[in-house]
A and B are shown apart, each in its own frame.
Chain A
Amino acid sequence: MPELNPSPSGVNDFVIKFANVNGTGSASANSLIMKSIFRMGVPVVGKNFFPSNIQGLPTWYEIRVTGEGWIARSGRVDLMVAMNAETYARDIAEVSPGGYLLFDSSWPRPALLTRADVTVLGVPLSQLCSEHFEGARARILMKNIMYAGVLAALLGLDLEVMRGLLGETYAKKPALVEANMKAIGIGYDYAQAHVSCPLPVRVERLDRTRGHFMMDGNTAAALGCVYAGATVGAWYPITPSTSLMDAFRAFCSKLRVDPETGRHNYLVIQAEDELAAIGAVIGASWNGARAFTPTSGPGISLMNEFIGLAYYAEIPAVLFDVQRVGPSTGMPTRTQQCDLLSCAYASHGDTRHVLLFPADPEECFNMAVQAFDLAERLQTPVFVLLDLDIGMNDWMVPDLEWDDAWRPDRGKVLSADMLQKIERFHRYVDVDGDGIAWRTIPGVGEKGAYFTRGSGHNQFGAYTEDSAEYQQVMERLSRKFRTAAGLVPKPVIADAGGTRNAIVSLGSCDGAVREALSLLARTGVRLDYMRVRGFPFGDEVEAFLAAHDTIFVVEQNRDAQLRSLLTLETAVEKRKLRPILHYSGFPVSSDFIVAGVNAALARGEAA
C-alpha cells in the first residue's frame, strides 16, 4: 500500500510499537511510557493487540504520539521495540521506511533483523539485567522496565515524570519505585552512551492534554452505570466486556458502600451463563431497579430468547455489547463492529431494538446514562454497542461533565398515589398515543397488579389468541419504535460545504474517518460526514442520506451491516451506498479509509 500519510515531522508525530511476549509485565512498561508522554502534554493513542491467552504468546502495544491530537491509528510504525525473537521477521517488516527498530543485543544480532531503510539499535537488556538484578522473575520484569529507560533517552522523555508515575503506582511500596528507577536509569545511561540521543522521532513538551485523562470505554461505561443509578448488574464473564463489570464493582466498592452500616447499595450477580444474566436483568428491571448486563457477541446470541420476552412484555433492560470478532467464538481479543444486525433484530418473531453507538469513552459514559433513561422511557431493551477498541484501549478523554440537577427519567410508572386516582389500571393501553403504556412496579398495591407474559396478550395484559387483539398490541409496539427514533441521540454531521459526496460511519471508526477527511481535503477531495449514534434512525439521518449522491459507508465488518440497516430502515437507494469495509480485527486506520475513497474515485464511483 502506498504511504498516504505525509512523512512525520518526527517531533511529537510518530508511532512506537512494542512487540512482547504476554505475561511478562510488558503492559506496565508500555503504559508507563504512554502516560509519561501524556503527562508531558502531548496527545497519545494507545492500542493493545493481545492474544486470547494468559502467558507465552506474542502481544503488541502501539502508541501513536500525535501533537495534532488525532485519535485513530495512522497505519505507520516509526519505532519498533522488538522484544520477542519469535516475531522478529514480521516486526521488522512492519517498520515504515526510515524508521527504527530496538532489540535486545545480549545475543548476536540475527540476520533477519536487517533492512536497508531501517536503523537497527541494539541494547543488551538481558545482560544488563543479569548484572544488576537477582532472580529470574525480577530479571524478566526489569528487562521491560529497562527498555522504558532506553526509550526515555531515545525519545527525550522526562525521567521525573516517570518517577512521579511510579510513585503513584507503588505508593505503598517505595522500594519498588527505587528498583524500577534503577532499571530505567541503567537503560537510559546505556542509550545515552551508545546512541545519538534523542532520535529525530522524539517527544517535546506541549500543553495539549490539559483537561483530559486516559480511560478505556468499559471503565467509562461502568462509571456511567454508577452515575445513572443502576443498582443491579448481572453478567457472565466474556472477553472483551469483562472489565466493564470489574470496573462497576470497583467503583461501587468505593462509592456505593454505606459508610455507617457497610451495606452495599448495589448487587452484582455473576450468573451461570448469559441466559441467566439477561434473565436477572429483566427480573430486576421488572421489579423497578435499574439493571444492566455487559456482554459480547456470543452472549447476545445466547440472550436472544429473553430479549424477545423483554421486547414483547415491555420490560426495560440495558445491554452493553462490547463487540469482538465473530462469527462463533471468532477472535475474542480482536475488534469488530459485527453485531449490528444481530442486536437490531435480536430474537424470533417481529422484534426491533433500540441501539446506541458510542464512538469513544466519553460517549460510553454519557450513553450509558442515556441508555437507562431510554430503556425505562420506552420500556424495552436498549443496546449500547461498544467494541473491543473502545472498550479495552486507553483513550485520551476530555474531562467528563456532570450536572447535579440531573435526575433519571424512570418513564411511565404509576405510583400508589396515582393508582388511587384512576378507576382501573390496564398494562398495555396506549393512553397517551405515543405507543408507550403505563406500568406498575410489584409491591405497589393490588390495584396495580397485572400478569406479565411473553405469550399473546391483549392491551389489558390478558392472555389472548384473538387476531385483532394480538395485532393491536403489535401495532402499538411499532408506534413505540417510531417514538424511539425521536429519542435516540441525533447523528453528528460535519458539512464540508457544497458536496454531494459523503461518508457515513459509526462508533469507533470516528477518529479514523475524521483524520481521513482531513487528509483527503489536503488532496482536494471534500466529503460531508455523518456519524450515526442511534437506531432507529431519525429524520436527520433520512435527510442526510437524501441530500447526497455517493455515500461511503465506513464500518468494521465484512458484510456491510450498517449499510444493510440503512437500506432496510430508511428510504435511501441502495446503489448510493458504497461500502468501505475493514474487518481484520485491528482498529481501522485513517489511511485505510483514504485508500478506500481514492480507489472508488479512481473507478469513477463519485462525481
Chain B
Amino acid sequence: MSITGKPRVEHPGQRRNAVGLSRRAYEGGMSTLCAGCGHDSVTAAIVQACFELSLPPQSVAKLSGIGCSSKTTAYFVSGAHGFNGVHGRMPAIAAGASAANRTLKYIGVSGDGDSLSIGLGQLGHAIRRNMDMLYMLENNGVYGLTKGQFSASADIGSKSKKGERNDHPPIDPVLLALSLGATFVARSFSGDKEQLVPLIKAGLMHEGFALIDVLSPCVTFNDHEGSTKSYAYVREHQQVPIATDFVEARREITVSYAEGETVSVELHDGSRVVLRKLDRDYDPTDRALALAYVQERSARNEHVTGLIYLGEGRKDFHARHQTPDEPLNSLPFERLCPGKAALGGIIARYR
C-alpha cells in the first residue's frame, strides 16, 4: 500500500500570509506516527512557523536521516523538496546541498538516535562548519522504530517501559552545541507550542547553525512513570530562564517590555529576537554561564528550555568559503570553464 497525501482543503475565510498562502499550504502528507506522538506537535509548530514567516514553499529544503523523527519531513511543506537520507548522515547531505544553493532555507529534522549515536560526529561537524540551517533534534530518549531501547540521551536513573534502569550518562545536545561554539542553541518541549514556534522562526532566520533540541515524548515507549522524558515529567521539570519572542523585520515591536529585563538581538534580515528574562541571573549571550546553568539543572534532572544561547557574528559556512551571493548550481558554464585558450597556458607550465 502506498501512503497518499492528505487532501488540501481551503476555506474562503482562511487567514493568508504575505505570500498569499494559507496555513494549509505548509502542511504535508499524513503522519504515520503513533497517535499523540510529540513529533507531530513539532511538525505542527514547523508548519505554523513557516506560515507566519511567509516562506515560499519552494524556498525550503527538508532533510532528515532515519528514525521516527526523520519521517516527519514528509509531513510538512509538501511544496518543498525533501530528502530522507541514511541514518545519522543528514548533516553531510545538508552541507552539500547548502554548498550547491545557499539561498534555500534548510530544515534538518533528526532524533536522539540519529544525532547522538550514529550521527554524533556529523552533528559535531555541522556545528563546527556553522552550516546555515535549522537543526531540529526531536529528542525522546528512546529508540522507537526498534521498540524501546535506551538512546544516548536517556538520563541516568530513567526507567524503560520494561522497568530497566539506564546507568549511562546522557549526551546532551545542548551542552555539546555550546561547547562546540554553536551560535544558536535552544531547547524546547513539543507540548509547548507558545515557546516552540518563535524559536523555530528565530532559528530559521538566524544566519548559521541553529539547534533546537525538542523534548518530544514517545507515547508508546517512553511516556511512563520513571521516564524523565514523559509528558508529565517534562511539564513538571521544565525550567525556563528566558522567554523568546520573534519580531519580523516588517513589524514594529508593539509589546512594551520593562527596562533591563529584555535583550533584543537583531538578525541579518532585520528581524529581531527579543529575549525576556524570567530568571534575573540568566544571560543568554554568555556562553560560559549558559553551560554552567544547564549543567547545574541537568544534574538535578531538570530540563532547561528556551533560547539558551544566542551569539551573532561567527562566520557561517558560505562566508568562510567566500562563495558568491548567487547559488553555485546556477552559475553559467561560461564562468566555470576556463576554455581552450587557457588550457594551452596551463599545460605549458608542465613541459
User: A: which residues have CB within 8 A of B?
Assistant: 38-39, 212-215, 219, 223, 226-232, 234, 251, 255-256, 258, 261-269, 271-273, 275-289, 291, 305-306, 309, 397, 399-400, 402-404, 407-408, 440-446, 448-455, 458, 460, 462-466, 469
Residues of B within 8 A of A272 (CB): 121-122, 124-125
A214 touches B351 (CB 8 A): yes
Minimum Cβ distance to chain A for residue B350 (Å): 4
Contact of A229 with B336 at beta-carbon distance under 8 Å, contacts A266-B328, A451-B74, A452-B84 already known: yes
Residues of B within 8 A of A449 (CB): 57-58, 78-82
Contact of A463 with B92 at beta-carbon distance under 8 Å, contacts A287-B100, A444-B58 already known: no
Residues of A within 8 A of B3 (CB): 462-463
A279 touches B92 (CB 8 A): yes
Residues of B within 8 A of A445 (CB): 58
A291 touches B100 (CB 8 A): yes
The reply on B346 being an interface residue by CB < 8 A is yes
List 13 extra interface pairs beyond A227-B337, A306-B89, A440-B81, CB under 8 A.
A213-B347, A227-B338, A272-B125, A287-B61, A287-B329, A289-B101, A291-B96, A306-B92, A402-B343, A442-B58, A442-B61, A444-B58, A469-B2
Q: Which 4 residue pairs across A and B have the least CB separation, nearest first? A: A279-B92, A283-B96, A446-B79, A280-B96
A452 touches B81 (CB 8 A): yes
Residues of A within 8 A of B331 (CB): 231, 265
A446 touches B58 (CB 8 A): yes
Residues of A within 8 A of B122 (CB): 272, 275-276, 279
Minimum Cβ distance to chain B for residue A592 (Å): 29
User: B: which residues have CB within 8 A of A?
Assistant: 1-4, 57-59, 61, 63, 73-74, 78-86, 89, 91-101, 103-104, 121-122, 124-125, 129, 318, 321-325, 328-331, 333, 335-340, 342-344, 346-348, 350-351
Q: Which of B57, B98, B125, B324 contacts A446 (CB 8 A)?
A: B57
B83 touches A286 (CB 8 A): yes
Minimum Cβ distance to chain A for residue B62 (Å): 8
Contact of A283 with B94 at beta-carbon distance under 8 Å, contacts A231-B100, A402-B340 already known: yes
A363–B86 Cα gap in the complex (Å)?
34
Residues of A within 8 A of B91 (CB): 276, 279
A223 touches B346 (CB 8 A): yes
Which residue of chain B has its CB nearest to the CB of A291?
B96
Residues of B within 8 A of A469 (CB): 2
Residues of A within 8 A of B78 (CB): 449
Residues of A within 8 A of B336 (CB): 226, 229-231, 256, 265
A-B CB pair tally, cutoff 8 Å: 235
B104 touches A443 (CB 8 A): yes
A280–B344 Cα gap in the complex (Å)?
33
A464 touches B81 (CB 8 A): no
Residues of A within 8 A of B346 (CB): 223, 251
Minimum Cβ distance to chain B for residue A533 (Å): 22
A451 touches B82 (CB 8 A): yes
A263–B320 Cα gap in the complex (Å)?
11
A232–B346 Cα gap in the complex (Å)?
21
A305–B122 Cα gap in the complex (Å)?
15
Minimum Cβ distance to chain A for residue B340 (Å): 4
User: Can you pick out 29 interface pairs between chain A and chain B where the beta carbons lie within 8 Å of each other?
Assistant: A226-B336, A226-B337, A226-B338, A230-B336, A231-B329, A262-B322, A263-B323, A263-B324, A265-B331, A267-B321, A272-B121, A272-B125, A276-B122, A279-B91, A279-B96, A283-B100, A287-B61, A288-B329, A289-B99, A289-B100, A400-B347, A442-B80, A450-B81, A450-B82, A452-B83, A452-B84, A454-B86, A462-B3, A466-B1
Q: Which of B89, B99, B104 contacts A442 (CB 8 A)?
A: B104
Contact of A269 with B96 at beta-carbon distance under 8 Å, contacts A214-B351, A463-B3, A466-B2 already known: yes
A258–B325 Cα gap in the complex (Å)?
12
Which residue of chain A has its CB nearest to the CB of B318?
A267
Minimum Cβ distance to chain A for residue B120 (Å): 11
A227–B347 Cα gap in the complex (Å)?
13
B350 touches A283 (CB 8 A): no
Residues of B within 8 A of A280 (CB): 92-93, 95-96, 99
Residues of B within 8 A of A275 (CB): 89, 92, 122
Minimum Cβ distance to chain B for residue A454 (Å): 6
A442 touches B101 (CB 8 A): yes
Residues of B within 8 A of A400 (CB): 343, 347
A284 touches B58 (CB 8 A): no
A231, A255, A278 interface centre (most CB from chain B within 10 Å): A231
A452–B65 Cα gap in the complex (Å)?
12
Residues of A within 8 A of B86 (CB): 279, 305-306, 309, 454
A450–B77 Cα gap in the complex (Å)?
11
A460–B4 Cα gap in the complex (Å)?
11
Residues of B within 8 A of A265 (CB): 323-324, 328, 331, 335-336
Minimum Cβ distance to chain B for residue A45 (Å): 16
B99 touches A443 (CB 8 A): no
Residues of B within 8 A of A223 (CB): 346
Residues of B within 8 A of A214 (CB): 350-351
A399 touches B1 (CB 8 A): no
B347 touches A234 (CB 8 A): no
A543–B290 Cα gap in the complex (Å)?
71
Contact of A289 with B329 at beta-carbon distance under 8 Å, contacts A263-B324, A265-B335, A453-B84 already known: yes
Contact of A215 with B350 at beta-carbon distance under 8 Å, contacts A279-B89, A441-B329, A442-B97 already known: yes
Q: Which of B93, B325, B337 contacts A283 (CB 8 A)?
A: B93
B74 touches A279 (CB 8 A): no
A234–B125 Cα gap in the complex (Å)?
14
A266–B104 Cα gap in the complex (Å)?
18
A255–B338 Cα gap in the complex (Å)?
7
Which residue of chain B has its CB nearest to the CB of A230?
B336
Which residue of chain A has its CB nearest to the CB of B328?
A231
A469–B98 Cα gap in the complex (Å)?
32
A400–B338 Cα gap in the complex (Å)?
13
A280–B318 Cα gap in the complex (Å)?
15
A278–B96 Cα gap in the complex (Å)?
9
A256, A281, A443 interface centre (most CB from chain B within 10 Å): A443
Residues of A within 8 A of B348 (CB): 213
Residues of B within 8 A of A267 (CB): 99, 318, 321, 323, 328
Q: Which of A229, A232, A278 contacts B333 (CB 8 A)?
A: A229
Minimum Cβ distance to chain A for residue B119 (Å): 10
A261–B103 Cα gap in the complex (Å)?
19
A264 touches B97 (CB 8 A): no
B79, B101, B330, B337 interface centre (most CB from chain A within 10 Å): B337
A218–B121 Cα gap in the complex (Å)?
29
B104 touches A232 (CB 8 A): no
Contact of A284 with B99 at beta-carbon distance under 8 Å, contacts A289-B328, A402-B339, A408-B333 already known: yes
Which residue of chain B has its CB nearest to the CB of A457?
B2
Contact of A309 with B121 at beta-carbon distance under 8 Å, contacts A223-B346, A283-B93, A463-B2 already known: no
A362–B279 Cα gap in the complex (Å)?
68
A330–B112 Cα gap in the complex (Å)?
36
B85 touches A284 (CB 8 A): no
A279–B66 Cα gap in the complex (Å)?
14
Which residue of chain B has its CB nearest to the CB of A309?
B86
B328 touches A407 (CB 8 A): no
A287 touches B335 (CB 8 A): no
Residues of A within 8 A of B59 (CB): 443
Minimum Cβ distance to chain A for residue B134 (Å): 16
A462 touches B96 (CB 8 A): no
A267–B132 Cα gap in the complex (Å)?
15
Minimum Cβ distance to chain B for residue A580 (Å): 33
Minimum Cβ distance to chain B for residue A284 (Å): 4
Which residue of chain B has its CB nearest to the CB of A451?
B82
Q: Which of B83, B89, B96 contacts A232 (CB 8 A)?
A: B96
B97 touches A283 (CB 8 A): yes
A407 touches B333 (CB 8 A): yes
Residues of A within 8 A of B340 (CB): 402-404
A463–B1 Cα gap in the complex (Å)?
9
B324 touches A281 (CB 8 A): no
